[in-house]
């Protein structure tokens, strides 16, 4: 049985298995994602990412991403940063500006390189969308119950739908650890025709000698609780700015690390900057694992 080379990478703890699909094809990536993502019987990850050539001239490369349940995701900000690092440091490109085709359109990666190493990546995540009948039914959504407790003095809207190419429902609450119990239920709520990613967020005000931010935990559609979510961080920053809880630049502090998000007024695009890291390389089949 053919062995498939892979690379394990993570962005703020959001870990995926990366396969160079330009050299190795996988007939059933959904099944592979389920088997290989198993943290006891496989490699262990939040899903599988395939890196390939772009079929259109507007992009340099393409990505497909499959969650641990085998479902295909539209986009992943953390994975896109890892792809930038992979392409550059593995010698597949010498570009520091890479156009990446996703199911949510073409995203531009700006690589920040020092001494031949990609230190961080800024991704142009595009414009946020607040209304999309294919992703969110606001009439049904009015019946969603916002978890408590929630500080009254924070004021305004306490939950907001934001699409960053995939659907997110951002909830501001003092108890972000509710994400497991409530996130798994809201993912399948009828307000979200294609299911939904759920963010639980708490504003951390700036104080003397300490920078503020937004503490966020994520329930990812198809994967459950993850250490970080790039599109979720963007949706959180946008929701906070839109509701007046923060400015247009925010530090989103997730379980696995911090992402810097800017919602630029000039072009209405959201820019995400953060790290990407290699973990290890290996070879795998569906029933046998060998790491190197």
The domain ranges of the chain are 4-126+275-291, 138-268
Q: Does the pLDDT value for residue 217 go beyond 90?
A: yes
Helix ranges (DSSP H) in the chain: 29-37, 77-89, 138-141, 179-186, 230-242
**What tokens were used for 71?**
């479902």
Q: Does the pLDDT value for residue 193 go beyond 70?
A: yes
Q: What does the pLDDT average to over 89-106?
A: 97
Question: What pLDDT shows up at residue 147?
Answer: 46
Q: What does the pLDDT average to over 88-109?
A: 97
Q: What does the pLDDT average to over 102-129?
A: 97
User: Which one from 196, 201, 229, 234 is the annotated catalytic residue?
Assistant: 229
Neighbours of 43 (CB within 10 A): 21
Q: Does the pLDDT value for residue 143 go beyond 90?
A: no
Question: What pLDDT shows up at residue 16?
Answer: 98
User: What is the band of 145 on the pLDDT scale with cuts at 50, 70, 90?
Assistant: low
Give yes or no for a contact between 195 and 188, defined as CB atoms under 8 angstroms apart. Answer: yes
Q: Out of 14-18, 170-174, 196-200, 273-277, which region has the weakest mean confidence (pLDDT)?
A: 170-174
Q: What is the pTM of this model?
A: 0.90
What are the distances in angstroms from CA 40 to CA 37, 58, 157, 177, 249? 9, 40, 41, 25, 39
Does residue 196 have an active-site annotation?
A: no
Q: Does the pLDDT value for residue 209 go beyond 80?
A: no
| DSSP states along 202-218 | EEE--BTTB--EEEEEE
Give yes or no for a contact between 184 and 219, defined as CB atoms under 8 angstroms apart. Answer: yes
Question: What pLDDT shows up at residue 144?
Answer: 73
Comparing 4-126+275-291 with 138-268, is the CATH topology the same? yes
Question: What pLDDT shows up at residue 154?
Answer: 40
Question: What pLDDT shows up at residue 71?
Answer: 96
Among positive and negative, which fits the CA dihedral 35, 39, 44, 46?
Answer: positive
Does residue 234 have an active-site annotation?
A: no
User: Which one from 76, 82, 201, 234 is the annotated catalytic residue?
Assistant: 76
Question: What pLDDT shows up at residue 212?
Answer: 77
From the list 193, 254, 198, the residue with the least C-alpha distance to 223 is 198
Strand partners, 123: 109, 272
Dist CA 237 CA 231 (whole Å)? 10
Q: Which fold has domain 4-126+275-291?
A: Diaminopimelate Epimerase; Chain A, domain 1 (3.10.310)
Q: What does the pLDDT average to over 123-141?
A: 93
From the list 204, 203, 132, the residue with the least C-alpha distance to 169 is 132
What are the distances in angstroms from CA 28 to CA 3, 70, 71? 14, 10, 12
Question: What pLDDT shows up at residue 158?
Answer: 83
User: What is the band of 140 on the pLDDT scale with cuts at 50, 70, 90?
Assistant: confident
Q: Out of 19-23, 86-90, 171-175, which region has the weakest mean confidence (pLDDT)?
A: 171-175
Q: What does the pLDDT average to over 272-287?
A: 91
Q: Does the pLDDT value for residue 292 go beyond 80?
A: no
Q: What does the pLDDT average to over 182-204?
A: 93
From the list 55, 54, 64, the residue with the least C-alpha distance to 19 is 64
Among positive and negative, which fits the CA dihedral 38, 43, 44, 48?
Answer: negative
Summary mean pLDDT of the chain: 91
**What tokens were used for 152?**
């009254």
User: What is the band of 149 on the pLDDT scale with cuts at 50, 70, 90?
Assistant: very low
The CATH number of the domain covering residues in 138-268: 3.10.310.10
Q: Is pLDDT larger for residue 74 or for residue 290?
A: 74
Question: What pLDDT shows up at residue 288?
Answer: 52
Give yes or no for a contact between 74 and 86, defined as CB atoms under 8 angstroms apart. Answer: no
């Amino acid at each position: 049985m053919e062995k498939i080379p892979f690379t394990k990478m993570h962005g703020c703890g959001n870990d995926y298995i990366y396969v160079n699909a330009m050299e190795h094809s996988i007939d059933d990536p959904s099944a592979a994602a389920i088997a290989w993502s198993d943290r006891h019987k496989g490699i262990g990850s939040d899903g599988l990412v395939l890196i390939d050539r772009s079929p259109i001239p507007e992009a340099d490369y393409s990505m497909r991403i499959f969650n641990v349940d085998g479902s295909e995701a539209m986009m992943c900000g953390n994975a896109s940063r890892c792809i930038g690092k992979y392409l550059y440091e593995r010698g597949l490109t010498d570009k520091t500006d890479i156009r990446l085709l996703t199911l949510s359109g073409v995203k531009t990666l700006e690589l920040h390189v020092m001494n031949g190493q990609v230190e961080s990546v800024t991704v142009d995540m595009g414009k946020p969308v607040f209304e999309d009948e294919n992703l969110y039914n606001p009439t049904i959504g009015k019946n969603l119950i916002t978890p408590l407790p929630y500080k009254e003095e924070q004021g305004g809207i306490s939950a907001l739908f934001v699409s960053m190419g995939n659907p997110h429902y951002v909830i501001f609450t003092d108890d972000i650890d509710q994400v497991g119990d409530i996130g798994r239920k809201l993912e399948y709520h009828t307000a979200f025709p294609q299911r939904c990613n759920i963010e639980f967020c708490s504003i951390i005000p700036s104080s003397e000698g300490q920078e503020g931010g937004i503490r966020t935990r994520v329930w990812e559609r198809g994967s459950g609780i993850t250490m970080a979510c790039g599109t979720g961080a963007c949706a959180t920053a946008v929701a906070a700015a839109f509701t007046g809880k923060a400015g247009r630049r925010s530090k989103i502090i997730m379980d696995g690390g911090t992402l810097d998000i800017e919602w630029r007024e000039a072009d209405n695009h959201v820019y995400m900057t953060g790290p990407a890291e290699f973990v290890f390389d290996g070879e795998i089949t569906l029933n046998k694992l060998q790491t190197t």
